[in-house]
Structure 1
Amino acid sequence: MFEVVIVGSGPTSLYTIAALLDRPAGLSITVLEREEMSGTGMPFRPEETDSVLLANIASIEVPPICESLLDWITGLPDAVLSHLGISEDDLHERHFFPRILLGAYLRSQLGRLADLAEERGHRLHIYNSAPVVDVARVAGGYTVTALKEGELLSFSARSVVLATGHVWPEDDPEHGYYGSPWPSVKLHAIPATDIGILGSSLSGIDAALSIACAHGRFEEGGSRYVPGPEAEGLHITLMSRKGLLPEADFWCDLPYLPLEYATPERIEALQQRPEGYDTEDLFDLLREEITANDPEYAAAIDLPSLTLEHFADAYFAPRMGKDQFALAAANLEEVERNVNKRTTVPWRYAILRMHETLAPLLPGMSGHERQRFKTYLAPVFIDNYAAVPPQTIRRLLALARTGSLSVVSVEDDCEVLPPTGKEPTRLREEGGERRFDYFVDSRGQSTLPASALPFPTLLEQLQADPEAPLPVSPSFGLSGPDDTWRGLYCAGLPFVMHLFPFAQGITVSHEFGEVLAKGVDSDRRAHDELTDQAVA
């Protein structure tokens, strides 16, 4: 059989396995998971996630594995759904379900995949509590070493997929500092005091809601927050460079309707252009698409005359310097009205579709042009697709009405000064310092250098610049200095973000899985050809 080892068992691994099982029989797939429970991934584990935290995409947007999320949830006992606050009216494809429920779905699908593998003539072996400590290239493939119950286990493979997920900074809870908001349940230990959260997107909001749940409860469908007896003194400050809250997820046609200007033909023409393409080319496509879809909005922000460098400023201007909770309430009302009417906001829908259309072009751009894209266009796309479930906005507003929440902007070059024992965490700006008894850094995952790869032998063999990103190809291939390697893939988010700045969530895991399975399939065909030649 053709041996494949997958490191990690989160969503990317599951979608990779599902795609591999569609291939001809004869694959032996070994999954090595460091945690006790496989098949969930960090944000979805029941012991690590609050039930009020919702998946950031609706049920219809979760790519099915063996069955759809909604079909699986519909088959759950009523008592389970009631415990999670899910009513019969919520059982529809546009509902945002709790993350812990999505995690349970993923775990169930891994079990289904194990059965499916046997039916289709493959083998699927899953090892829990088996952290991988090293990977090495050897003659004929790779050796993967894992630690299981104190014993080192060695696995041989022709193809290896590294899908290790997020890597977060260390916490210092004794002194009130948390380097990330994950797992969210750790934030329950934070007392009702002055708390700073750096980041006002979904991760920051989820951190605020987790802390709020430790000191009170949400009632009336999330529209009312009731502080507990020890909640006096609780105040949470959400901070970001623009001081903006994300908007509520808006209704739109799913699957996406085709774009009018950024057609597959035009995208392919850009990719085939001998002189290449740059960020200006992508902005021109975006401008055409927005103008065609919503000429009124284009005129309102003077889009025809905007340069690339000024587009983001015009996009954010209507929300800057305003009462964020008043804007959130008005936006929530608009979203609920549009949901009832099944209508969308054309310019928002155009930007949403454009980000997925343009994303595949980024790996083909130079490092300089990717940086320009990150500076001038990415903030708009991120703000648009990072819209949060309406129920999350409803809870946020309920918390704000108690006076326990505020949103402020901070300077671009602000500096976080971790606690020293004598001093609490401070956020230093040119105009002074902000001090917090407790501090949570919720700015999200950052790109890690090659030196962060936790497999010493492989890192030495790669001979990569330790301070630069890993030399990952757009199809996730990793290659050593002689460029003859094949069969090694890295889809760990911290190591590919420089190529895929929009990479996040279940839909991206599905896309990654399809690409990874194609790579493994290509390895297998090449191996079979060599075997046939040797026999002949």
Structure 2
Amino acid sequence: MRKRVAIVGSGPTALYALQDLTKSKSSLAIVIFEDSAIAGKGTPYQRGINDPAMLSNIPSIEIPDLPETLVAWLAEQSEEYLSEFEIERIGISDRAFYPRVVIGDYFRAQFERIVAKGEQANHTICVCERSQVADIAPSGNRFVVKYGEEASLELFDYVIVATGHSFPSAPETSPGYFAAPWPATALQSIPSGKIGVLGTSLSAIDAVMTVATMFGRFDRNADGCLNYQVQDGHEGFEVSMMSRKGLLPEADFFFPIPYEDPLICTTQAVAARMALGSSGLLDDVFDLLRQELLVADPEYAQFIGLNELTVDTFAAAYYGVRDSFDPFEWAASNLDEAKRNYAAKRTVAWRYAILIIHEIIETAVSYFTAEDLERFNRSFKSIFADDYATVPHLSIERLIALRKANRLNIIKLGDRSEISSDNVERGAIVTFEDGTLQFDTFIDATGQKTLSADDLPFPSLHDAGLISQARTVTPRGNLRRTGGIDVDEQCRPLIAGIKPVRRLHIPAVSYLLHKRPFVQGITSAAELGQIVARSVIADLMRPARSRRAATATKSPKAGAIELV
């Protein structure tokens, strides 16, 4: 009899999980549950949720293997489709950036090909669109999935919860106050007054571009310079982006792909240090980073005084030079440098060194003590996100064009600020070190929030005691809650932080961010999808005797839960 696998969600993580599941030699019955009307795209790439002006920051060359590359798929598209998104066929490139909705259409096409290929390999694959999963209940060593408006029930041997990003379906929590910039269609009702956007990363840039294209348009001069022109009747349009540092992200920089291996801060070096225990781990990992930068770019190391820096002071030095310039002047200079380096295929050594070690350093995060995790989150973490989350050149050009048109400001909030929608008819009031500002519309565009174990919307898993909030050890050996869900390396939830639940996997990004702060984006989705698929296949291949010998724990509410 075929083993039945449920995949909850159908975004990139589910896409890569499905692709690897179809490689199983055992024929599977796979059911994919998707809440939206179209499966295979994922929330960050759905039409309607995203505006066509929102750009993805991953090029074709960085998208892990699917049946065909983004470049190959784009080359197959009609002139009508390409012109809809102002894509010139001659300019299609494996390092170019495209609108999020284009990436979504590409993923949908790959999803359909993977489903077809899986069915040819003797798997049965059922795609249930408009089917929200309301609950997942353990039943013996299997799981019952409750879904759809009619509360249908189906029994599965394996369940993969790949719900990915989580955003409110109705983001306008009070008049003119939006808790997220998605769905983008929700922003279409806002008037063209003073608009505040919290955040300066790509998510915030997405929000700015959505409203900017509602009230005006971008055009290029004959000399290639991008300009912005506000439409008649919307002369009051003005947007302010704000963050603690008041800095814009840097432009995407050229680097070799695949990544080169670091010389000092290697996977082996970090693993060897982790084996010695958690005490002092953060400081020793920082020392490995310091040594890597000293070798990779001695001039940069000397410029920022790297030898005198600590894990607690490195971020201040890293941002220091940029912080001393007007953010738009720095953006223009950085963009010019990035374009020259792309043309010359030249890599900035220190930027690349940080990029190639960020995932290696992430492997140590879950081993930090609670105090070191706080230190890491306070400042050190941000430099990696700043380095790998660079943005498309066009995004920077658009910001500069808005600034030249006197439609965009950047506000540095500092360490003490308050945002309130109380006592205002619409929007919000922002109070910070330099004063108070009132906005007609306010949009929180700080991106995906970390969710806690209590946020997982499947009550039966909670009732059965299968979901635990992750905890981190303190120097005294106590455990402190740090948020998210406690899972093992195969994304299986851990009971009491020890025993993983067999056949249940939760590779949902929003619940993993507490211990894996860089687990965002398509490459991470591919990794998570592959991990859980291979875990399922490995479990299928276990000898029958091993399965019968597995330990079982009984829950009075849910029956027997099979554990490893």
TM-score class, shorter: over 0.9
**Distance change (3 Å), C-alpha of 1:508 and 1:533:** closer
**Distance change (3 Å), C-alpha of 1:205 and 1:472:** same
1:36 matched to 2:37: yes
Supply the distance in 1 between the matched residues of 2:289 and 2:33 (Cα, whole angstroms): 42
- Partner-residue secondary structure (3-state), 1:439: strand
How far apart are residue 121 of structure 1 and its match? 2.0
Supply the distance in 2 between the matched residues of 1:24 and 1:270 (Cα, whole angstroms): 39
How far apart are residue 351 of structure 1 and its match? 0.8
Quote the RMSD (CA, aligned, Å): 2.1
**Distance change (3 Å), C-alpha of 1:56 and 1:222:** farther
Moved more, 463-472 or 64-73: 463-472
* 1:130 corresponds to: 131
* 1:172 corresponds to: 172
**Distance change (3 Å), C-alpha of 1:102 and 1:319:** same
Supply the distance in 1 between the matched residues of 2:397 and 2:113 (Cα, whole angstroms): 36
* 1:239 corresponds to: 242
Does the Cα contact within 8 Å between 2:270 and 2:285 map onto a contact in 1? no
* 1:290 corresponds to: 293
* 2:472 corresponds to: none
Does the Cα contact within 8 Å between 1:270 and 1:276 map onto a contact in 2? no
1:470 matched to 2:485: yes
Supply the distance in 2 between the matched residues of 1:331 and 1:323 (Cα, whole angstroms): 12
Supply the distance in 2 between the matched residues of 1:322 and 1:533 (Cα, whole angstroms): 65
* 1:407 corresponds to: 410
- Normalized per residue, the structure richer in helix is 1
How far apart are residue 432 of structure 1 and its match? 4.0
Does the Cα contact within 8 Å between 2:131 and 2:147 map onto a contact in 1? yes
Supply the distance in 1 between the matched residues of 2:343 and 2:485 (Cα, whole angstroms): 47
The one of 454, 457, 461 aligned to 1:458: 461
1:307 matched to 2:306: no
* 2:445 corresponds to: 442
* 1:394 corresponds to: 397
Supply the distance in 2 between the matched residues of 1:529 and 1:68 (Cα, whole angstroms): 43
Supply the distance in 1 between the matched residues of 2:99 and 2:538 (Cα, whole angstroms): 37
1:89 matched to 2:86: no
Does the Cα contact within 8 Å between 2:175 and 2:425 map onto a contact in 1? no
**Distance change (3 Å), C-alpha of 1:7 and 1:387:** same
* 1:25 corresponds to: 26
* 1:505 corresponds to: 521
Supply the distance in 1 between the matched residues of 2:463 and 2:92 (Cα, whole angstroms): 51
C-alpha offsets along residues 451-493 of structure 1, whole Å, 9 cap, x if unaligned?
1111111122126567843222233111345836211111212
Moved more, 349-358 or 478-487: 478-487
Matches within 5 A, 1:226-375: 226-273=229-276, 278-375=281-378
How far apart are residue 529 of structure 1 and its match? 4.6
Supply the distance in 1 between the matched residues of 2:67 and 2:87 (Cα, whole angstroms): 23
Q: Which amino acid aligns with 1:154?
A: L
* 2:103 corresponds to: 102
C-alpha offsets along residues 82-139 of structure 1, whole Å, 9 cap, x if unaligned?
2211113321111111111100011111111111111222221110000000011111
**Distance change (3 Å), C-alpha of 1:283 and 1:530:** closer
How far apart are residue 419 of structure 1 and its match? 4.2
Does the Cα contact within 8 Å between 1:43 and 1:183 map onto a contact in 2? no
Does the Cα contact within 8 Å between 2:466 and 2:493 map onto a contact in 1? no
* 2:478 corresponds to: none
- Partner-residue secondary structure (3-state), 1:51: coil
Supply the distance in 2 between the matched residues of 1:121 and 1:423 (Cα, whole angstroms): 57
- Partner-residue secondary structure (3-state), 2:130: coil
Supply the distance in 1 between the matched residues of 2:423 and 2:29 (Cα, whole angstroms): 51
**Distance change (3 Å), C-alpha of 1:484 and 1:244:** closer
How far apart are residue 265 of structure 1 and its match? 2.7
- Partner-residue secondary structure (3-state), 1:393: helix
How far apart are residue 276 of structure 1 and its match? 6.4
- Partner-residue secondary structure (3-state), 1:156: strand
* 2:502 corresponds to: 486
**Distance change (3 Å), C-alpha of 1:73 and 1:386:** same
Moved more, 498-507 or 357-366: 357-366
Does the Cα contact within 8 Å between 2:466 and 2:494 map onto a contact in 1? no
Matches within 5 A, 1:13-162: 13-147=14-148, 150-162=149-161
How far apart are residue 532 of structure 1 and its match? 8.7
How far apart are residue 364 of structure 1 and its match? 3.0
Q: Which amino acid aligns with 1:44?
A: Y
Unaligned runs of 5+ in 2: 470-480, 551-564
How far apart are residue 244 of structure 1 and its match? 0.2
Q: Which amino acid aligns with 2:527?
A: E
Moved more, 85-94 or 358-367: 358-367
- Partner-residue secondary structure (3-state), 2:26: coil
Does the Cα contact within 8 Å between 1:246 and 1:387 map onto a contact in 2? yes
* 1:526 corresponds to: 542
Supply the distance in 2 between the matched residues of 1:173 and 1:483 (Cα, whole angstroms): 40
Does the Cα contact within 8 Å between 2:461 and 2:467 map onto a contact in 1? no
TM-score (norm 2): 0.90
Does the Cα contact within 8 Å between 2:246 and 2:411 map onto a contact in 1? yes
Identity value in percent: 34
